[in-house]
Amino acid sequence: MLMMKKVMIAEEVEPGPTVNPVTTINELLKLQIDDGNLLHLKKKRIIYSEGKSATCIFYVLKGKVKTSKWNEDGKELITGLFNEGDFLGFQALMDGGRHRETAEVMEEADLVFISREDLHYLFQCNNSFLLDIIKILTRNIADKQEQMLRMAYSSLRKKVGEALLLTYEKYNPSGSIDFSLNISRCNLAALAGVAKESLIRTLSDMRDEHIIDIQEGKIIILDHHKLERIIYHEDMRNGNA
């Protein structure tokens, strides 16, 4: 294992229990980087493919990544967005099985990879790591369930509005007013679960309503309250408030 370096013990010293040198996730990441477990990938590079065996998890040190699935007609559905500070590939690894989606680089990325063996060792030595992983898994599963419900029951405008807000909140956690969404129309449509043509028409309507502006292909949200009303007003009309 790359991370687990054994300490040489003098013959006259009685061996004691193995000591785990890592106590936090940050320490784990630093040790993995020091061991050379770092990937630098260009845009559109595939990190792992649906159906492939899971051998490690990935931590996004820099850049943007998406996970996607395709239906029988070849239509893409983005199941997750990841950027600096996010882990991906957990569920398949913990299941001991194969990836259920494909991960692709959206923006040039540096990724730290951590092997199944290293993770199992950590779980045995440090229960806090196991709890952290369970929290991440639980959050990811809840997010995917919510997305599936949205895909099934929301109107076109609500799907597009939610995709805009999700992308904005993901890539602009500080809430900067000068932030603009630099995401392709294909990716935004795949995230919303709508046809690209329908997305473009809806974005044009929202621009006419001064909810958003589009400058050099980048989307700027002008009125968050109006955008939120598109999403939550429909919920209230459907009795989900």
The CA distance from 11 to 1, in Å, is: 24
**Helices and strands counted in the chain (H then E):** 8, 8
Quick one: fold of 25-151? Answer: Jelly Rolls (2.60.120)
pLDDT tier, 145 (very low <50, low <70, confident <90, very high otherwise): low
HEC string of 26-57 equals HHHHHHHHHCCCEEEECCCCEEECCCCECCEE
Q: Tokens 């009795």 label which residue?
A: 239
Flag whether the pTM goes above 0.85: no
Angle at 19 between CA 17 and CA 25, to 5 degrees: 150
All CATH 2.60.120.10 domain ranges of the chain, comma separated, are: 25-151
The CA distance from 183 to 74, in Å, is: 21
CATH of region 154-237, choose from 1.10.10.10, 1.10.390.10, 1.20.1110.10, 1.10.1740.10:
1.10.10.10
For 16-44, what is each residue's pLDDT tens digit?
Answer: 444 456 777 788 889 899 999 999 999 99
All CATH 1.10.10.10 domain ranges of the chain, comma separated, are: 154-237
pLDDT value, residue 64:
95
Work out the average pLDDT over 155-173: 91
**Within 10 A of 117 (CB to CB), how many other CB atoms are there?**
14
